[in-house]
Structure 1
Amino acid sequence: MTKVHERFLKYVAFDTESDPDSESCPSSEKQKDLGYHLLDEMKSIGIQQIEMDANGYVYGVIPASDGCETYPKLAFIAHMDTSPDLSGANVKARIVKNYTGEPIVLNAEKNIILAPEDFEHLGQYVGDDLIVTDGTTLLGADNKAGIAEILTMAEVLIQSPDIKHGPIKIAFTPDEEIGRGADRFDLNKLDADFGYTVDGGELGELEYENFNAATAKIKINGSNIHPGSAKGKMKNALLIGMEFHQMLPAFENPAYTEAYEGFSHLNDFGGSVEEASMLYIIRDHDLELFNRKKSLFESAATFINQKYGANTVELGITDSYFNMKEKILPHFHLIENAQKAMEQLNIKPLIVPVRGGTDGARLSYMGLPCPNLFTGGHNFHGKYEYIPIQSMEKAVSVLIEIVKIYAQ
């Protein structure tokens, strides 16, 4: 039987970075390279009805144990892409065995150090084996750890006929990191009653509240002219962009917020005097506050256009996903059973609001109630990302325990 971390280390060798500027699905064709590998692996494990559709979505089924065919059909879902925030190519992962609690030198040449004084959660894992990067890429535990955990669970179930279970559905999606993971998800093909995304963070995390999310794209149309004769004529798009940003609340910024506090985050800003662009993500758990944030963008754009002329600022706001809470509460057994599974394994459930989103949020609104379970990783989307092997193993155990509970 393949160990969960062995699977994971194979998957991170695939560069699956999604591309927010692409209109195709998947947004980067290289995501399918991992998809084809997963199909082969799923076949070798014994998963049935496997396929990858034209859009890069991978599906599979573990038929119910004899006598359990009418039990709830549970889906376990993860995503194949990694964040475009940092390169996922040429990932050089290594295992720090029996972590001592001291700083970990990821890259001596570039003086990149994973230190407990910067990341206090490292102290929880003294004695564990940590998978880290060399400090030049992200690791990819978000969400290749989830894929590894789901397929390890699948292998255990198939090789252990004494573990009774209902129908188990498996799906791996592209493009979750750019907000499109559920865009072309075929729920009819999945044919599940309930689901769990395995896309959370540290050991014990259980999430059924997430941000309401939107993206604001701004184009600023300036007017360039030689600075020696620019008086009364030049409109500097870069300076207008800075002015626009200053109209937003300074402390509604990710660097100043936590828990249920929302934010507007300037993710990209570039251009020239003639033309500039800005990309924001807008987040809030509270729908009223979320809509208020979007309205503030519209007010700022209106003000700038009144000041500098019509169409100086072109603003487009697109909703990405909404808080899944209202869709989960009518099916709260999903949370209670996940808690029960963790407690039976002596894992303390950490019910926290997601300061982000998952495919599960969109899927919940599409008709598949789908909270989020931990993978065990930390510091996603950056060079300090790491994951303890023991947390991955416990994630597999939780998935198996949930399956058992739904078969009781």
Structure 2
Amino acid sequence: MNFNSSLSFTVTERFLRYVTIDTQSDPSSVSFPSTEKQKDLGRLLVEELLAIGVKDAHLDEYGYVYATIPANTDKHVPVICFCSHMDTAPDCSGKNVLPIVHKNYQGQDIVLPHDKSQVIKMTEHPDLKKQIGNDVITASGTTLLGADNKAGVAEIMDTCYQLMNHPEIKHGTIRILFTPDEEVGHGVDHVDIAKLGAFAGYTMDGESAGNMENETFSADGARLTIQGVSSHPGFAKGKMESAIKIAGEIVAALPAELSPEHTEGMEGFIHPVAIEGHVEVASIDFILRDFDERKLNNHAAVIRKTADDVLKRYPSSTYALDVSEQYRNMKNVLDEHPQIVDYAMEAINRTGLTAKLCSIRGGTDGSRLSFMGLPCPNIFAGEHAFHSKQEWVSVQDMQKAVETILHLCMIWEERS
């Protein structure tokens, strides 16, 4: 089926509407969702879903949007779920976003008008080489765009619109899930897996058109707490062992080759993200990442050895390391259900793109969903330079993502 000739896409209009709603999440919040304003987008999505005939669309107390597209086939088809997150990253403002459509892009530098120091260059964004003749959407220079992940939200919403208006597209029951707080690591904390009742899920939260991601980092958090020795600084000689200085020495002594700035591809890292404290007690928060869980465990061992070596010079000081699991590599689950990835790869190829299987140097909602009983790889949404003022996406890539979802719905129906 050639969707380009039979569909009138709504994805661009939806995306331009959604990005103007501030949904930035807050890592310091203790509420859920972390910001109430995320529900503003959730309420709009429910209104739009109800308007196109999705009768059970609703926003729950936690800020999740659930909806169901009923099956239109007599076949028994496994229920599949499509998921995107509504929040934007805390790294860059998401307030008063002004999206700009640069039509018929021809390779030129894109100067963002509200801060002309923000220039999107093909030399720094090589995927722009694939966008010649396409329509590229950016923000205006003072905010992020929000393509991460409102591109995915708009693509799923357009898919719902197409499925409700094109009964010739045969499919089983489709569940829709929009989540808050993905950017602060809590996106699926309160997801009701039983309510979804799905066999497989797909997050729409990837980068380049054609990419399909079946593997993420495994991730731990770690806190190293150092107990030093305090003394009056005027009488501290031979007595004081500053926890602050010990913390600094430990960070400086960590192997450079295990830092984010020196790793790529399938290499993991140890990353100190925060230090706080005073002379007597100080703490360092780390994130530990690796595709191999054995190597991930070794990263914690590296921190312990480094701390042991440094504290040899401070005999009256001690430390404790607490490691907590954050998420695990979804490939461990997906390998048990190969058709979930295979069908998505076929769907991408049916759009005319060349499907490319990739690993994510990060995590998605799908990482945790996979271990909650919903195997969930990640499909491209077309978003680029996420979490920055130079974030961009193209109209044509979002349309290809919609086509991919539609083909994927059909493939599950065909193979059942």
TM over 0.5, yes or no?
yes
Pairing 1:81–2:90 present? no
Structure-2 residue corresponding to 1:31: 38
Pairing 1:3–2:4 present? no
Choose from 96, 99, 124 the match for 2:102.
96
- Alignment map for 1:334-345 (pairs within 5 Å): 334-345=340-351
Deviation at 1:393, TM superposition (A): 0.6
Contact conserved, 2:11 with 2:398, CA < 8 A, in 1? Answer: yes
CA distance in structure 2 between the aligned counterparts of 1:24 and 1:114, rounded to whole angstroms: 36
CA distance in structure 2 between the aligned counterparts of 1:192 and 1:207, rounded to whole angstroms: 20
Contact conserved, 2:334 with 2:375, CA < 8 A, in 1? Answer: yes
Contact conserved, 2:115 with 2:141, CA < 8 A, in 1? Answer: no
Pairing 1:387–2:393 present? yes
Q: Secondary structure at the match of 2:257?
A: coil
TM-score by length of 1: 0.92
Identity %: 44
Aligned residues: 407
- Alignment map for 1:166-177 (pairs within 5 Å): 166-177=172-183
Contact conserved, 1:304 with 1:312, CA < 8 A, in 2? Answer: no
Contact conserved, 1:301 with 1:314, CA < 8 A, in 2? Answer: no
Deviates more, 1:358-367 or 1:214-223: 214-223
C-alpha spacing 1:327/1:241, structure 2 compared with 1 (3 Å): same
CA distance in structure 1 between the aligned counterparts of 2:282 and 2:22, rounded to whole angstroms: 30
Q: Secondary structure at the match of 2:362?
A: coil
CA distance in structure 2 between the aligned counterparts of 1:93 and 1:319, rounded to whole angstroms: 38
CA distance in structure 1 between the aligned counterparts of 2:99 and 2:219, rounded to whole angstroms: 32
Contact conserved, 1:304 with 1:313, CA < 8 A, in 2? Answer: no
Deviation at 1:51, TM superposition (A): 1.9
Deviation at 1:74, TM superposition (A): 0.9
Counterpart code for 2:344:
A
- Residues 75-117 of structure 1 show CA distances to partners (whole Å, capped at 9, x for unaligned) of 0011111222222222222111111111111257451211112
Contact conserved, 2:66 with 2:176, CA < 8 A, in 1? Answer: yes
- Alignment map for 1:7-406 (pairs within 5 Å): 7-68=14-75, 70-107=76-113, 109=115, 111-219=117-225, 230-269=236-275, 277-304=283-310, 307-308=313-314, 313=319, 315-406=321-412
Q: Secondary structure at the match of 1:208?
A: strand
**RMSD over aligned Cα atoms:** 2.3
Deviation at 1:170, TM superposition (A): 0.3
Deviation at 1:232, TM superposition (A): 3.9
Counterpart code for 2:157:
L
- Residues 110-163 of structure 1 show CA distances to partners (whole Å, capped at 9, x for unaligned) of 512111122222212111111112232222111111111001001000011111
- Residues 339-380 of structure 1 show CA distances to partners (whole Å, capped at 9, x for unaligned) of 111212110111111111111111111111111100011111
- Residues 42-82 of structure 1 show CA distances to partners (whole Å, capped at 9, x for unaligned) of 111221322222211111001110424x2111100111112
Deviation at 1:23, TM superposition (A): 2.5
Contact conserved, 2:9 with 2:399, CA < 8 A, in 1? Answer: no
- Residues 212-260 of structure 1 show CA distances to partners (whole Å, capped at 9, x for unaligned) of 0112234556677776665445544443332111232102222222221
Q: Secondary structure at the match of 1:47?
A: coil
Counterpart code for 1:174:
P
Deviates more, 1:229-238 or 1:181-190: 229-238
Show structure 1 runs of 5+ residues with no match: none
Deviation at 1:261, TM superposition (A): 0.9
Q: Secondary structure at the match of 1:352?
A: strand
- Residues 169-201 of structure 1 show CA distances to partners (whole Å, capped at 9, x for unaligned) of 000111212222222111101111111111111
Deviation at 1:4, TM superposition (A): 0.6
CA distance in structure 2 between the aligned counterparts of 1:92 and 1:224, rounded to whole angstroms: 52
CA distance in structure 2 between the aligned counterparts of 1:174 and 1:404, rounded to whole angstroms: 28
C-alpha spacing 1:94/1:234, structure 2 compared with 1 (3 Å): farther
Deviation at 1:16, TM superposition (A): 1.8
C-alpha spacing 1:49/1:277, structure 2 compared with 1 (3 Å): same
Contact conserved, 2:115 with 2:142, CA < 8 A, in 1? Answer: no
C-alpha spacing 1:155/1:354, structure 2 compared with 1 (3 Å): same
C-alpha spacing 1:60/1:231, structure 2 compared with 1 (3 Å): same
C-alpha spacing 1:271/1:140, structure 2 compared with 1 (3 Å): farther
CA distance in structure 1 between the aligned counterparts of 2:113 and 2:309, rounded to whole angstroms: 47
CA distance in structure 2 between the aligned counterparts of 1:234 and 1:195, rounded to whole angstroms: 56
